[in-house]
Chain A
Amino acid sequence: MSDGAELPDVSVLVSRLHSLSCAQSLNFREKCPLSMDDPRASLIAKIEETQLPRRLVFTNDRAGKISFFVNGGRLLGVEYFTSLGKTRFYKPSGTGDPRRVVCTEPVAEALERFFRKANQPTVRSYRFDPNELQDDEECDPPAILDISRVLSEADAIPLSPLAAFSDQCRVLAEALVVLKDGEFQVLWGDPGLLEPLKSLAMEEGAKHIEQTRIVSEDMPETACAIYSGHPSGGRSVFCATQSGAILLALCPYEKSTELITLWQSHLAKLPEASL
């Protein structure tokens, strides 16, 4: 330590210490408000100060979301919604510099839409395993890769009414899928929950096909069931069928009645003949 010039700038150390001690150790699952003076700059600052692997989920007051996969202040990927509400994943090919990535179309467009709806955006931080991204340079996280692949295939298929209804469920659900004719029209939510939900949807889909073979095609097939685990800490799986599509949504136990209320208001808007 004889040469003082080798010491790093104190303000850099303090900033580093601050980012490690506050944002990381808190793993801020509670919502933190984002400064609206210059929201884009605040968002970039949040990304840059995040040194441990985190998924930063920014939420606006109209339940819009945009997620950033971050490690060492670099951006590994962005999960965002298109103007049609579809989930997309963007993986930067360069350095992952957040300043560049947020200016790249289509992320810039998604951010623009996100901030347009925001009076008080908030951010939550979740742990994230970067190995899911780095094990194979060619691969995005499995569930997210599936989202991109499936949705690009589904672009040509008209979306079912349940896919439209699923947009309303996102505010209550942790993960959701919409399956029609063996194809996933919507895959959204926590990647760790999506895989078992997809398996369950395939099982339900197979049952559904069997049932439609048995009953007349004219028979109404709009139905809904919800299965819940232990009231203390369990989750609920909401399952709805309509027009040959199946929606499965996973939510905390406490949110199940809200999902049912949402479904009942959806039912109330349907024409009598479709029930």
Chain B
Amino acid sequence: MEVAERMRSLRTQFPECTLMAFADLSAGMILSVSADTSRMQEEISGLCSTAKDVLSCTASGSLGSLITNGTDTNAFEAILIEHEEVGVFLRSTVKQNDAFCCVCSAQISLSHFLPAVRAAIDTLDVSQ
């Protein structure tokens, strides 16, 4: 299943997810977007910058040493909770430059949503 189709499928399964984007963290680019309404380019670019910020925040050391599993100090997930919205950023454990950036309403069930997005990003074959 290609990226766009996978994101559409996840948004159908979780309608609380209003925007989903596939990012290449090394290039700092959004490669594909699925959203409930058309979005400004600035919003999409801003999402990519946020993804880079929050998933690369371990460089300073303190955070990386706390969240590490012993071998990898990268942040693989970041969730930003605001009153109205929840931002979810997931880095692939397989291709660590790949990430999904999601904007959801506060009603999203993270205990269901996170495993679904994790499975989607870790089994993604972007060479297709």
Determine whether the beta carbon of B75 is less than 8 Å from that of A228: yes
Q: Which of A22-30, A138-146, A231-239 contacts B (4 or more CB under 8 A)?
A: A231-239
Secondary structure class of chain B's binding surface, majority of residues: mixed
Question: Which among B78, B93, B114 is the interface contact of A227 at CB below 8 angstroms?
Answer: B78
Determine whether the beta carbon of A227 is less than 8 Å from that of B75: yes
Determine whether the beta carbon of A225 is less than 8 Å from that of B79: yes
Those of B62-86 within 8 Å (CB) of chain A = 62-63, 65-83
Mask of B48-59 contacts with A, CB within 8 angstroms, 1/0:
000000100110
In the complex, B37 has a CB within 8 A of chain A: no
Alpha-carbon distance A223/B50, docked complex (angstroms): 15
**Smallest CB-CB separation from B87: which chain A residue?**
A225
Residues in B whose Cβ lies below 8 Å from that of A226:
77-79, 81
Residues in B whose Cβ lies below 8 Å from that of A222:
83
Those of A252-275 within 8 Å (CB) of chain B = 256-257, 260-261, 263-264, 267, 275
Determine whether the beta carbon of A250 is less than 8 Å from that of B111: no
Closest CB-CB distance, A138 to chain B, in whole Å?
29
CB within 8 Å for A227 and B68 given contacts A257-B114, A260-B81:
no
Determine whether the beta carbon of B118 is less than 8 Å from that of A260: no
Alpha-carbon distance A159/B17, docked complex (angstroms): 37
Residues in B whose Cβ lies below 8 Å from that of A220:
83
Question: Which among A193, A224, A230, A261 is the interface contact of B69 at CB below 8 angstroms?
Answer: A230
Determine whether the beta carbon of A223 is less than 8 Å from that of B82: yes
In the complex, B38 has a CB within 8 A of chain A: no
Determine whether the beta carbon of A196 is less than 8 Å from that of B67: no
Alpha-carbon distance A131/B83, docked complex (angstroms): 47
Question: Which among A227, A229, A235, A264 is the interface contact of B81 at CB below 8 angstroms?
Answer: A264
Determine whether the beta carbon of B62 is less than 8 Å from that of A235: no
Residue with the greatest number of chain A CB neighbours at <10 A, chosen from B58, B68, B81: B81
Residues in A whose Cβ lies below 8 Å from that of B82:
223
Determine whether the beta carbon of A234 is less than 8 Å from that of B68: yes
Alpha-carbon distance A250/B71, docked complex (angstroms): 18
CB within 8 Å for A200 and B66 given contacts A227-B75, A231-B118, A257-B110:
yes
Residues in A whose Cβ lies below 8 Å from that of B57:
227
In the complex, A37 has a CB within 8 A of chain B: no
Residues in A whose Cβ lies below 8 Å from that of B77:
226-228, 231, 236, 256
Q: B residues within 8 Å of A by Cβ?
A: 54, 57-58, 60, 62-63, 65-83, 93, 106, 110-111, 114, 118
